[in-house]
Structure 1
Amino acid sequence: MDKEKDFEIIKQFGPSILKVKIPNEILNQLNEYIDNIVEDKELSKKLNFGEQLVGDVSQEIKLETEIMQKSGWGNFLGLSVGKWIGSEMGKKITKFNIIESWAVRQFKNEYNPVHWHNGHISGAGFLKVPKIFGKHVQNKENKNYKGGNLQLIHGSRMFLNDSTYTIKPKVGDFYFFPNYMMHVVYPFKESDEERRSISFNAKIDDEIFNVYG
């Protein structure tokens, strides 16, 4: 068993997750768009998405169809999902319909409780991230501080099986996952800077999504 080929870890169970990088051009356009909305009180009220979402956060802004097309955001999501499904299932999607996409402006002590999305495919990524999030009250050096992190949840913890996947936010990182994937965003406490994320829900071909036929 000392040979490398004699030691292989196989992990094929559980939902697939795709990680990609948001192109800088798209990221910058989205941030500029959101900054402009924040400055416009009337527009902020019009595009307020908070009542439809579960988060206890400062502001949740629904993206208009025009900016999703103009920035290339919608096309980026569709191409990424197409490549993901093709790689995972060997199938080509013919439909990619965005139900909604929105940005979340989270600040100190705010959070998003455990929840899941509708549609078929969802995702979450990061447009702005504070330089620091904080640390444990008792300064537990041997424990990873989860403040500001996104955590994906599926199933229950068992022997040789984790039920969570913790993601430390990094600007430009975006994660795709099935709509049913539970997730939570933890509060942070030491920074006055904004944690800005972006999410979406979409539907693909029913024949591909419905694996039960």
Structure 2
Amino acid sequence: MAVIFTPQGDKDFFTPFGPMMGYVRMPARFVDDMNAAITRNLEDHSGQLVGKVREELRFDRALIDMAAAALGQTLIEYHIRASRRGTFGDYEHRTKQYELNIAGGWFVRQFAGDYNPLHIHTGAALSCVGYLKLPDGIEAEWEEDYRDHHPSHGHLQFAHGTDSHYSVSNFMVKPRVGDFWIFPSYMFHCVYPFRSEGERRSFSMNLSVMESEARPAPGQAA
């Protein structure tokens, strides 16, 4: 059933089309713990992924649980906000309870010349990326790259729809250690190569937020 939108007041500005993006700064302790976890004996999952990068190490159960504990509430908040936006506010989250279903996660270890071609993710509703490490010389490279009319080195680019009047179809993200981005799994994105020596390290996860009706508290009528 189509959602009926009713303007509130005499003037309104809103965004009825296009997907919502989420952004948050990750806790510094979580970033440190994730970087320390890179030394675990993790499976190289790069043969199953599209990235043209050195290594893509698959999360074990402990890493999935650690990410869920640190970022779960933010991921659920994204789900709630996007659901409210998609129904123009006709969505009551207080009557629901939520559970994360993380299909998988992996570290992306990218070095000079590596890149991630344009792609989407499958098997889940949401995807995300968090930045853990950057090459020491990347700021100098970016300073030079930003003199060009279209800088891109080591940047993440999202794309959705088609450019038209009053509408854009893509935007670029300059990675920063501690930044965490959430987006629908169907959104196209890519990562451009860079030249600096050293590692550009991030992690990605695919997940869904499962809804169920909240159970009444003990002694409360159903």
TM-score, normalisation: structure 1? 0.80
- Deviation, 1:87, is 2.6
- Deviation, 1:10, is 4.4
Shift in alpha-carbon separation, 1:135–1:31, aligned structure 2, 3 A: closer
What SS does structure 2 have at the residue aligned with 1:148?
coil
* Correspondence for 2:31: 27
Match of 2:74 among 65, 80, 95: 80
Partner Cα distance (1:60, 1:199) in 2: 10
Partner Cα distance (2:130, 2:13) in 1: 28
Alpha carbons 2:97, 2:211 under 8 Å: kept: no
Partner Cα distance (2:81, 2:146) in 1: 41
Matched, 1:192 2:186: no
* Correspondence for 2:5: none
- Deviation, 1:144, is 4.2
After superposition, residues 72-111 of structure 1 pair within 5 angstroms as 72-88=66-82, 89=84, 90=91, 91=93, 92=96, 94-111=98-115
After superposition, residues 128-139 of structure 1 pair within 5 angstroms as 128-131=133-136, 132=138, 134=141
Unaligned runs of 5+ in 2: 1-10, 85-90, 213-222
Larger Rg: 2
Amino acid aligned to 2:62: E
* Correspondence for 1:40: none
Percent of pairs identical after alignment?
33
- Deviation, 1:93, is 5.1
- Deviation, 1:167, is 0.2
Alpha carbons 1:93, 1:204 under 8 Å: kept: no
Partner Cα distance (2:146, 2:178) in 1: 29
What SS does structure 1 have at the residue aligned with 2:62?
helix
What SS does structure 2 have at the residue aligned with 1:95?
strand
* Correspondence for 2:55: 59
TM-score, normalisation: structure 2? 0.77
Unaligned runs of 5+ in 1: 1-6, 38-42, 208-213
- Deviation, 1:178, is 0.6
- Deviation, 1:12, is 4.2
Match of 1:123 among 106, 128, 133: 128
Q: Report the aligned-residue RMSD.
A: 2.5
Alpha carbons 1:136, 1:145 under 8 Å: kept: no
Amino acid aligned to 2:55: Q
Partner Cα distance (1:165, 1:22) in 2: 21
Q: How many residues align?
A: 190
Partner Cα distance (1:60, 1:96) in 2: 23
Shift in alpha-carbon separation, 1:10–1:130, aligned structure 2, 3 A: farther
* Correspondence for 1:181: 187
Amino acid aligned to 1:74: A
- Deviation, 1:24, is 1.0
